[in-house]
Amino acid sequence: MNQTEYNLLLFFKKNPEKEFSTTDILANIFPEKYNVIEEALNNQFADKQMVNEAKRKKGQIHRKILYYLNNLVEEDILKISKQGNKGEKYFVLALEDGEELIVNKSKRKIIISKPSMPAMHIDGYEQKNIAVRFESATWIDRLNTILFETPKFKSLEELYNTINKCFSNINDVIGLNDFEYVIQNNDINESISFLRKINSECVDYGKRLSCIIDITNIEKEKTSNVFDFIKEYCSIHSKNITLIFDVRSKELQEHSDFFEDIINLFINFKKRIYIKNQDLHGAPYILGRAGPYCFDEEEWLVYKKEFQEKSYGLACSQSTIGIDVNAFFKENNNINQFRLFIKNIVKSLLYANSLQRRKSDEYFRDIVKLTFPHVREFFNLSKNYIRFWNYGWKEPDLNQNYVIDLIKSTKEEIDNFSVSEETIYQSCGMPTRFKIAFSCLFNGSKFNFSERASQKIEIKKLEDLYSKKVKEMLNTKEEIFQAFDGGDRARFYRTGKINSKDICRELNIILKTYKIPFFCYEFSEVRGVELKLTSFIR
């Protein structure tokens, strides 16, 4: 057996459950060569010849490792699990849970086994399509979402490389806090090039980015940069990148001209605009495929005061389980059964966290490297999500108060359970954090859940925000926002005649009147919009 082949087998033996990209494998099998090449490629002062040489060498070891990997695939030891858009192959062991593989070649024998995942409380519910582990293949060895403090990064290149590296540590979304800093402190062409490049990486890796723009921090002389960036963002129609505008109603009024221009862009490109109300929720919101993520306000304030300056970022969510409430009640029309069901889900998450803790060094290698020596602080605000699908919101036949009370009282029970678990762990010499957040689930139908049962919040004109029907819906939504401590989102479908001034006023009314911290205005159903040149000239 060749030494490289032997090293490859040992590498997979150590990580029998994990999926690796060719680059990951390369970095682990030829670490020294790989680091030298990466240093040369990321060196700002490297000349063209040096970069070309590094690229040539990278290609060379890439081909070498692929040769051995493909041999192992042919021998049914490995299998290709997926292929990225750029053609990068991902490999996993060709083993089922609990299976053992004996590779016996030229006096060397390697036994690789894949441990079976022990039975968990969630298993039975998954079989009935009542619950689902979000991204089950990477449920334990990746985090759902992390937030980066963009002002901490010295250059766009550093930010780009870090995001890229961390894609292999997360399975949903990365939030970029204070993203206005990036736009305002870099050449606009570089920012746009960053946007295009990172969008393409997001598509390749199937990941999302949430760029959070705090309107308070936008400097007057930099508004054209911000505008140009947003224009580019709208024009590329990215499905993977979301801009979230963090605003206060007062600022919206003060910067109304600028904001109207931005709204015009979103209208003209028929894009959704996301708004976070800073007066109601100071901590960032991040938008993933699973749904919205947010931080606890009180914890965020402590973080801001004591740690934000030193921090590159922090983990927001570790593991997520989605549940179909409608499907559950079709099977069991019993509230106590529901509470027990949620408690069992929480127990599964507790177990997942235990596995994560014990292998966190290995699973989150890049994050540990990046945040050292503040690794512990990186996990200080992290939690697990239980996301609700078809929980009754906007279902016309259901008593909304009943649903909200059920969610609230269940949450209270779960919080008590989590606190007592933390106490138990602490008394055993394991001071660890275990928090559960409730939120909504997006795209439940993708998980074979029941058909979406909901009504739209449709706004045709400003006055609709005061109509009895919309008011009632929004009041219920306010209550749900209170019950969903992990965040929620209200979605307004704007139809009818439209102009940015009116939209700005409508946004202002929502910001001032309703306790809805996070919402979006959907312009995709607006008809007859024409691109106004004046809005692009600024």
> Which residues are near another protein by CB under 8 A?
347, 350-351, 353-354, 356-358, 360-361, 364, 368, 375-376, 378-379, 417, 420-421, 423-433
Closer to another protein by Cβ: residue 260 or 421: 421
Report H helices in 428-533. Answer: 468-483, 500-513
What tokens does 522 get? 């959907």
Nearer of residues 340 and 462 to another protein, judged by Cβ: 340
Task: Please state the closest distance from residue 433 (CB atom) to another protein, in A.
Answer: 7
Measured CA angle at 511 (ends 459, 251), to 5 deg: 125
**Of 431 and 496, which has the nearer Cβ to another protein?**
431
Which one, 60 or 423, has the nearer CB to another protein? Answer: 423
How big is the CA angle at 475 (ends 474 and 477), to the nearest 5 degrees? Answer: 60
Q: Give the count of beta carbons closer than 10 Å to the beta carbon of residue 299.
A: 15
> In the bound complex, what is the minimum distance in angstroms from residue 424's beta carbon to another protein?
5
Angle at which helix 223-236 crosses helix 188-205, to 10 degrees, equals 30
Q: For the CB of residue 375, give the shortest distance to another protein in the complex, in Å.
A: 4
- Identify which of residues 302 and 462 has a Cβ nearer to another protein in the complex: 302
Beta bridge partners of 244: 212, 274
% helix / strand / coil in the chain, to the nearest 5? 50, 20, 30
Nearer to another protein, 54 or 370 (CB): 370
* Ranges of H-type helices in 332-399: 335-363, 365-371, 375-378
Return the structure tokens found at 358: 């014990």
Instruction: State phi, psi for 272 to the nearest 5 degrees.
Output: -85, 135
- C-alpha to C-alpha distance for 437 and 295, rounded to whole angstroms: 10
Question: CB–CB of 18/141 below 8 Å?
Answer: yes
Min. distance of Cβ 319 from another protein in angstroms? 13
Q: Is the dihedral of CA 216, 517, 507, 523 positive or negative?
A: positive
Distance CA 46, CA 53 (A): 11
Backbone angles phi, psi at 387, to 5 degrees: -110, 135
Taking the complex as a whole, the smallest distance from the CB of residue 150 to another protein amounts, in Å, to 22
Pick 19 or 421: Cβ nearer another protein = 421
Asked if 147 and 314 count as a contact pair (C-beta separation under 8 A), the reply is yes
User: Closest distance between another protein and the C-beta of residue 376, in Å?
Assistant: 6
Q: How far is the CB of 371 from another protein (least distance, A)?
A: 8
Compute the C-alpha angle 474/446/86, nearest 5°.
Answer: 115
Min CB(437)–another protein separation in Å: 17
As measured in angstroms, the least distance from the Cβ of 377 to another protein is: 9
388 by Cβ neighbours in 10 Å (0-12 / 13-18 / 19+) ranks as buried
Nearer to another protein, 358 or 512 (CB): 358
**CB-nearer residue toward another protein: 110 or 355:** 355
The smaller minimum CB distance to another protein, of residues 210 and 360, is found at 360
Q: Could you tell me the two tokens for 25?
A: 């494998």
Using DSSP's 3-state secondary structure scheme, residue 407 falls into: helix
Q: Cα angle vertex 320, ends 316, 326, to 5°?
A: 135
Q: Which is nearer to another protein, 356 or 439 (CB)?
A: 356
User: Three-state SS for 125?
Assistant: helix
CB 407 within 8 A of CB 336: no
What is the DSSP annotation of 182-208?
HHHTS-HHHHHHHHHHHHHHHHHHT-E
**C-beta of 428: minimal distance to another protein in Å?**
4
Tokens (6 digits) for 66 = 């692929």
Nearer to another protein, 346 or 490 (CB): 346
Minimum Å gap between C-beta 345 and another protein is: 12
- Please state the closest distance from residue 258 (CB atom) to another protein, in A: 42
CA–CA distance, 517 with 294 (Å, rounded to integer): 11
Identity of residue 220:
K
96 vs 161: CA distance, rounded Å: 34
* Those residues with Cβ within 8 angstroms of residue 28's Cβ, 6 or more apart along the chain or in another chain: 11, 20
Cβ of residue 425: shortest distance to another protein, in angstroms? Answer: 6
Pick the closer one to another protein by CB: 87 or 118.
118
